[in-house]
Amino acid sequence: MLALCFALRNGATRCNAAEQHIPDTLFRVAEARYNALEGLWQVNTNGFCPGDTLRVANLIPHPGTLFQAGCCGTTEGWYDTLTGLHLVVPADTSLEESYSILFGADESTPSPQPTVVASGHKVVGAWRFSRTVELRLNGDQVRYKLVDSNGSSPWLLYSKPLLINRSCLLQTYNLTSGKLASLPATLQLIRIDDFERISATPDPEPLASPDALFRLVDGDTTSGTSWKTAKTTLLFNPGVERKANAISFWLGESGEKKLPRQIVVETSSDNQNWIQIARVLPMKEAQQTGRLWCSFEQEIRFRYLRITFTTKNLPLIIREIKVAFVP
């Protein structure tokens, strides 16, 4: 059907000889552009690895169409009403060159993406939780699967709320009658075992998202949480009594460490009567790294944990707080 020849062109690629492509169950999204000169749709393989399975939205190929790859051959391609159009980057594609895959197709309308609701809130990107969380998937015909360290589940049709009690990836897509399947969406579910809730007085500036404080204790240090007050108090509620033998802090921005005047650590059994167990006075040596470590002479037991930072009226930036729990 497509007796065409296309020249290769040089292009940068993120693949290397040791990298393996993502399995077909984890396809990569690619864009197709209409080639008016040839009257065909075109997908560039530049930026993808040989053997990758590409997912192309909004297109239905003509019945019996061939998928022309590069200058001299064809590649595998298929379409179904559930997962849409897929193309495979030829396994013999050179890492130093870029091919194009061309095919005849009709444009169509995609289904709206499903929405994920947790605790009454629409969530996208990532959701942090400390106890089993109930997720509701809204759409016409929503399909989902869970991916974790043990592998991937098959695609399942959503019929009732999902109960999630572990860290994993939730992948979803929606199918509306008469339309193409929506683009897949991925939600990162992160279970925080250490704390049920974290509150701050005053609120960070600018006001953080509801899960921003959890970032202080789960190792997600891509962005710090900042305050501009003389005193900042964090209250940690682990949900049950816990034991710990140390606390570490990572404070300040890279290249400019602004440490507080002191840090006071307190515990309580009822969130009313507090016992001071540590008072940290940052030394000049900590200015180089912004990292402080507080070890306790003996294990502490607590139901609530309160940490108060007193500053020199300078912005306080907390990047990470780690409590060394004892089993």
In tens, the pLDDT along 181-213 reads 787 889 999 888 788 888 889 888 765 565 678
Share of the chain above pLDDT 70, in %: 83
| Cα separation values, 237 from 114, 205, 220, 233, 269, Å | 33, 22, 19, 13, 11
* Residue 1 binned pLDDT confidence (cut-offs 50, 70, 90): very low
**CA 190 from centre of chain:** 9
Residue whose entry in the numeric block shows the structure tokens 């204790």: 217
- Of 155 and 253, which is predicted with more confidence? 155
Q: What is the mean pLDDT of residues 222-240?
A: 84
The segment(s) of the chain belonging to CATH 2.60.120.260 are: 197-325
pLDDT of residue 223: 60
Structure token pair of residue 120: 């009454």
Q: Does domain 115-191 have CATH number 2.160.20?
A: no
- pLDDT of residue 111 exceeding 90: no
Q: How far apart are CA 35 and CA 107, in angstroms?
A: 13
* Residue 3 binned pLDDT confidence (cut-offs 50, 70, 90): very low
Look up the CATH number of domain 197-325. 2.60.120.260
The segment(s) of the chain belonging to CATH 2.60.40 are: 115-191
**CA 288 from centre of chain:** 31
- pLDDT of residue 308 exceeding 90: yes
pLDDT of residue 255: 56
Q: How far apart are CA 9 and CA 11, in angstroms?
A: 6
Q: Please say whether the beta carbons of 170 and 187 come within 8 A.
A: yes
In tens, the pLDDT along 12-53 reads 334 543 444 555 456 788 888 888 777 888 898 888 888 888
